[in-house]
Amino acid sequence: MSELVIVSDEGPVRIVRMNRPEKKNALTMAMYDAMAAAIEGAAANPGLRCLLIAGHPSAFCAGNDIGDFLKAAGEGGALGAPIMRFLYALARNELPLVAAVQGNAVGVGTTMLMHCDHVVASSAARFATPFVGLGLVPEAGSSLIAPRLMGQARAFSLLVMGRPLSADEAKQAGLVNSVVEPDAVEAEAMKAAAEIAALPPQGVLASRRLLRGSRDDIVARIDEEAELFKTRLQSAEARAAFEAFMLRKR
């Protein structure tokens, strides 16, 4: 079996690549753990100056594995420890985070971008957070970060109404920095990562801390969302939505 998350260091840039294209990079517990470890581990490596999260040309990330959600719903509804580890790693991470988005970014595929500092998207990328349609609530601190980033109206449309954003709309909403042709995404993201890595590192870290503000607020919101998520995961609404997704092709 090929590695589901591929971590490679290219000079001062650590690339964390989701690699489950046959399932559109839907995240399993093992993938959350691997991504969390890659982010946490970067802090301990003084040679690293920037992280780059990437997916596959066919999909950035289709969100949490819905089969795992269904399983969690039958086991008390708690988000697994690997999910929480990944969300805390994102929130507490100090290094600049760049993302290269091709294809769909769904659920946590989109909310993880709210923790990123520079997002390059393919003109064909699409961003969606269908939490409420699945009987769930937003996660990853997105209920706090999104209204700050794009304003209440656009955050409501995305996170509550579940209306997707095109790449251009995501740029207008402040989620994405640049929109390029699909085959230019990775090079453009790497260019931005290298540019950040070439800046005086302590100045970058101190400035990023200022711009990001309190991480305690984000972590507290992640916990608050996770409590609600747990209740919602066990709801009849959520189970019906997950089952419908799992059965849709049969």
Question: Which residues make up the interface to ligand COA (CB under 6 A)?
Answer: 23-24, 26, 62-67, 104, 106-107, 130-131, 134, 249
CB of 69 to ligand COA, least distance (A): 7
CB of 231 to ligand COA, least distance (A): 16
Reference 9, options 49, 59, 62; nearest CA is: 49
Between residues 41 and 133, which has the closer beta carbon with respect to ligand COA? 133
CB of 65 to ligand COA, least distance (A): 4
Distance of CA 120 to the CA centre of its chain: 13
Helix (H) / strand (E) containing 3: none
Q: Give the ranges where 120-214 is alpha helix by DSSP (H).
A: 142-150, 152-155, 167-172, 185-197, 201-212
Looking at beta carbons, which residue is closest to ligand COA?
A: 107
Strands 97-101 and 50-54: parallel
Q: Compute φ and ψ for 22, nearest 5 degrees.
A: -65, -20
Instruction: Give CA torsion, residues 50, 56, 62, 65, to 10 deg.
Output: -90
CB of 201 to ligand COA, least distance (A): 35
Between residues 104 and 118, which has the closer beta carbon with respect to ligand COA? 104
Between residues 62 and 145, which has the closer beta carbon with respect to ligand COA? 62
Q: How far apart are CA 62 and CA 72, in angstroms?
A: 18
N-to-C CA span, the chain:
26
> What's the alpha-carbon Rg for the chain, to the nearest Å?
17
CB of 186 to ligand COA, least distance (A): 20
Tokens of residue 68, six digits? 């795992």
CB of 68 to ligand COA, least distance (A): 8
CB of 131 to ligand COA, least distance (A): 6
Between residues 73 and 95, which has the closer beta carbon with respect to ligand COA? 73
Reference 36, options 105, 72, 108, 88; nearest CA is: 88
Please say whether the beta carbons of 106 and 129 come within 8 A.
yes
Between residues 176 and 196, which has the closer beta carbon with respect to ligand COA? 176
Between residues 43 and 78, which has the closer beta carbon with respect to ligand COA? 78
Between residues 67 and 174, which has the closer beta carbon with respect to ligand COA? 67
